[in-house]
Chain A
Amino acid sequence: MDSEDDMHDANDVDSLEDFYSGDTAADSDDDNDADYDFDNDSDDDADAIMLHRHQPNYTILKEEDIRQHQEDDITRVAAVLSIASVSASILLRHYHWSVSKVNDEWFADESRVRKAVGLLEEPVVRYPNAKELTCGICFETYPCDMIQSAACGHPFCSTCWEGYISTSINDGPGCLLLRCPDPSCCAAVGQDMINLMASDEDKEKYSRYLLRSYIEDNRKTKWCPAPGCEYAVEFVAGSGSYDVACQCSYGFCWNCTEEAHRPVDCSTVAKWILKNSAESENMNWILANSKPCPKCKRPIEKNQGCMHITCTPPCKFEFCWLCLGAWSDHGERTGGFYACNRYEAAKQEGVYDETERRREMAKNSLERYTHYYERWATNQSSRQKALADLHQMQTVHIEKLSDKQCQPESQLKFITEAWLQIVECRRVLKWTYAYGYYLPEHELPRRQFFEYVQGEAESGLERLHQCAEKELQTYISADGPSADFNDFRTKLAGLTSVTRNYFENLVRALENGLSEVDSYGACSRTTSSKSTGGTSKARGGRGKGTTSRSSCSNKTPDDSSRWYCEHCATANAKSTNTCQMCYQRRA
């Protein structure tokens, strides 16, 4: 990302970019300390992490940028190889737009490259003195000025060229590899010829194909997969995560182009998505609406009537819908027809046989899947809702709030940031459920630890959500400027920062495979929260974020400049004894 973009991002208050280009947001924080009545000491660390995480290892390209890049590459190759830019374009397209590959191949064996690509040095056929030539397609004879040729010199009349080119362009992107119509000739037909012969509409199509080819054939670039988004992403491999946040606000994984899914890896996501598409709809319905017949196991939908169910022929088994026991056993003896205590009793006595247990297990596995799927899907829809709320906030509420509280909109950026954080957290939380589903069931300590940190994340997020939604509402609907608005600002900005930090650490811990469990063993509440916060993964300098943000007052030894509030986990400067967030005294 170049500096111009940074400036643009940092100033563009309304846009979604602010959060995602976390580096710029952090920059602007530092630049305008006065904007925030917020202790920057505690914020620095979060910024440092954001800086690491959002190290610009990718660039979002708008259409002009793509054209510019493409043009630059073509110009560079044309200059280095001393060839026409049309030829350079053909060469680059052939070598998937890799400038270095073009240079290597060309200087290794120019004539082989020329042959393969169809760049002829001189014409194959010459008619130096001809006044008239016969078109190779319509076989009509034309005066020379109505005849056109590619570099090879094979003569075709303008009308036939137009038809040839138009047919090829309308056949699809293959037109980018167009060759001379003569079957034995390999001469490439470049954009110069297209521009000379094609209709405006076809020229436009051709240039779109050329632009698309620059992104699609290049290993370093991809289109943003969001529907309707026209941005492309240039990615520098090898540094940090695959997560890409497009300027259209869509976040996706560079590697698998599914939506962004940290901390879960691509193969798990693929498995999860496949599982969802294969099972969820059917299974959700079946689970919600049916029970298997206890005898023949066919799913039965109970659409009306009493609990006395008779399965359809040939099974015809009569059973109780509530306890799935045989109806013949129901009656006075079992405590009445609908007091099916027989089930519990039988289970206690261990009467249920092997098949029953297997059925139970199958059901449990489905139930387990549904458990995770439901929560995954709920967080997904929560995220959509939060996105909508964010939009509403940006378009309506911020302005209103600005009027009510007499605050310039530029100083209300912390609200947008809070909402962007909520959106991001919902995304992470969603994927932790896919993570949880695939976490081996027998690794109990790991599961417990996972569920603990997940639970903490959930409640942290709820706290932030509550503050950004409910508490903010009071300031929006206030009659005039509220005295404690600045306190609210401090609180929300602090919560945002704390939550961001917690989730950053959570992501890293999960990506790490919760390896702390191995060293800490089955964890007490205190140890586990400490280790989440303290997860330091030695990856690209990320290990810097060794700060505990969870709700315990443990201090990591290298972090002596601040203390953590016992009540709200806010980091406070050492110089104060009262929490800047919740005003509780330091323990």
Chain B
Amino acid sequence: MQPPIPQASRARLFKEYKEVQREKAADPDIQLVCDDSNIFKWTALIKGPSETPFEGGVFQLAFAVPEQYPLQPPQVRFLTKIFHPNVHFKTGEICLDILKNAWSPAWTLQSVCRAIIALMAHPEPDSPLNCDSGNLLRSGDIRGYQSMARMYTRLAAMPKKG
């Protein structure tokens, strides 16, 4: 195993940072922010995709980037509560293949955000982290799933009214 070169991951993250600054308007659904004091910590705000129960919500993600990045994937979790089969209801942990064994170093934090938005629109009920949510979908209760998901989107991902 090669010793990790934090320098390389730092340089790569810095490039991503500059890219994010430059292309701020490129993807209005994603807003990536680097921690002020630590380039290995990022947060992202993503908009719930339209025509899903998450529409209208804004979800916060936390990125912890390892020193071996981009050879190793970043750790990502939802900070905003979300009712989704592939997101742990308590911890916000995400079950997504590209964050595990299908990771490629050519992915970026931005593309990870895009993949997560795609996951929100297309849940995988057969490998659930949230079994209740997965069971609703697997039993064909689309309405039940959508109303639960929408309720949690309202409760957690939308500005409180009044």
Contact = CB atoms under 8 A, between A and B. Distances in A.
Interface of A: 136-140, 154, 159-160, 162-164, 166-167, 170, 181-183, 199
Contact of B104 (A159, A163, A181): A181
A136 B106 contact: yes
B8 A183 contact: no
Interface centre among B15, B68, B71, B107 (most CB of A within 10 A): B71
Contact of A166 (B2, B15, B104, B107): B2
A180 B160 CA distance: 47
A138 B8 contact: yes
Contacts of B15: 138-140
B8 to A, nearest CB: 6
Contacts of A182: 104, 106
A136 to B, nearest CB: 5
B1 A170 contact: yes
A374 B12 CA distance: 67
Given A138-B11, A139-B12, A166-B2, A183 B72 contact: no
A306 to B, nearest CB: 61
A137 B11 contact: no
B104 A140 contact: no
A154 B104 CA distance: 13
14 contacts: A136-B106, A137-B12, A137-B70, A138-B8, A138-B12, A164-B105, A166-B1, A166-B2, A167-B68, A167-B72, A182-B106, A183-B104, A183-B107, A183-B111
Contacts of A139: 12, 15-16, 19
B98 interface: yes
Contacts of B105: 137, 160, 163-164, 181
A476 B106 CA distance: 74
A181 B106 contact: yes
A166 B1 CA distance: 6
Interface centre among B5, B8, B11, B111 (most CB of A within 10 A): B8
Closest 6 CB pairs of A and B: A139-B15, A183-B104, A167-B71, A137-B105, A136-B106, A181-B106
Interface in B77-123: 98, 104-107, 111
Interface of B: 1-2, 5, 8, 11-12, 15-16, 19, 68, 70-72, 98, 104-107, 111
A167 B70 CA distance: 11
A183 B2 contact: no
A533 B153 CA distance: 82
A154 B105 CA distance: 13
Nearest to B115: A183
A160 B106 CA distance: 10
A170 B11 CA distance: 24
B104 to A, nearest CB: 4
Nearest to B98: A183
A136 B106 CA distance: 6
A166 B71 CA distance: 10
A537 to B, nearest CB: 51
Contacts of B8: 138, 159, 163
A189 to B, nearest CB: 12
A154 B106 CA distance: 11
Contacts of B71: 163-164, 167
B2 A140 contact: no
A139 B111 CA distance: 14
Interface centre among A136, A139, A162, A166 (most CB of B within 10 A): A139
Contacts of A167: 1-2, 68, 71-72
A167 B69 CA distance: 11
B142 to A, nearest CB: 30
Nearest to B19: A139
A213 B8 CA distance: 33
Contacts of A164: 71, 105
B21 to A, nearest CB: 14
